[in-house]
Structure 1
Amino acid sequence: MGKALVLFGSTTGNTESVAEYVAETLKSEGLAVDLKNAADVTAEGLAEGYDLVLFGCSTWGDDEIELQENFVPIYDELEKARLDGRKVAVFGCGDSSYTHFCGAVDAIAEKAEQCGAKVVGMALKIDGDPDKAEAVSWAKDVVQSAA
């Protein structure tokens, strides 16, 4: 089929768990998948060689949207990732008691579109602990939307 990148930023491990569920599902759907931690990469050329890029990021902050700290440098330089023409999907974990519940998901999707990406599928916003079944279902929907 194609090649996908699942890139995540996680502090508590929740978004990392979702990223792992998503990567496993994409593999089961026939994609070659690279799973990477935002702490280990830079934005420069990040999307090259991938047909589908999935970004996962948790959200912090009550007064304003705060992206997970390791994801911030990627977000700040997202235009260098070469997303133009790529299919992108976004997921994240948060806490619905905060004003900007999973606001990082919306911010990343918006910036990816500004960088020329085509956002596919609905964004996945998980409240609290990750739900594997929800992540698997979402990942399958993304594959269908990207086809």
Structure 2
Amino acid sequence: MSKSLIVYGSTTGNTETAAEYVAEAFENKEIDVELKNVTDVSVADLGNGYDIVLFGCSTWGEEEIELQDDFIPLYDSLENADLKGKKVSVFGCGDSDYTYFCGAVDAIEEKLEKMGAVVIGDSLKIDGDPERDEIVSWGSGIADKI
């Protein structure tokens, strides 16, 4: 059985809900899921025995891209994670009225690619409240690529 880790940072609860929907999609595909708040994860946890690691982070800020507060320490130390060759994917919530809609998703994905991680599938950028069907569908597509 494949094993996945879903790490999320959420302030309003939207990204946490999205992470739960992704977990549901993976479980429907009989993939073992560990769902963790970013505050409960260290960079050492990221490469340990997982077939894929998914990162969920909301975007804040109008003048520049701001990652969700709890996610910043993990993001800043990602270079220390053993993710080279590891399958990863990124999702997040934002507001399309802002200049950098879901910019955190782009920033995380770019950093992971520079580290040599293998980004599978297109990232998911959620505008506003998470919609279950959209997210489960995206998660199922990612799960099929593991």
TM-score (norm: length of structure 1): 0.96
Unaligned runs of 5+ in 2: none
Shift of 1:46: 2.0
- How do 1:12-51 residues align onto structure 2 when only pairs under 5 Å count? 12-51=12-51
Aligned to 2:88: 88
Shift of 1:139: 0.3
Aligned to 1:139: 139
Would the aligned equivalents of 1:43 and 1:73 in 2 still touch at CA under 8 Å? Answer: no
RMSD, aligned CA = 0.9
SS in 2 for 1:74: helix
Shift >4 Å, 4+ stretches: none
Would the aligned equivalents of 1:39 and 1:70 in 2 still touch at CA under 8 Å? Answer: yes
TM-score (norm: length of structure 2): 0.96
Unaligned runs of 5+ in 1: none
Would the aligned equivalents of 2:7 and 2:41 in 1 still touch at CA under 8 Å? Answer: no
1:92-147 C-alpha deviation (Å, 9 max, x unpaired): 0000011000000011011011111000001100000010001000001111233x
1:5-47 C-alpha deviation (Å, 9 max, x unpaired): 0000000000000000101110110111100000122223422
Aligned to 2:113: 113
Would the aligned equivalents of 1:4 and 1:52 in 2 still touch at CA under 8 Å? Answer: yes
Partners of 1:81 and 1:33 in 2: CA distance:
19
Partners of 2:35 and 2:99 in 1: CA distance:
30
Aligned to 2:78: 78
Identity of aligned residues (%): 60
Matched, 1:64 2:64: yes
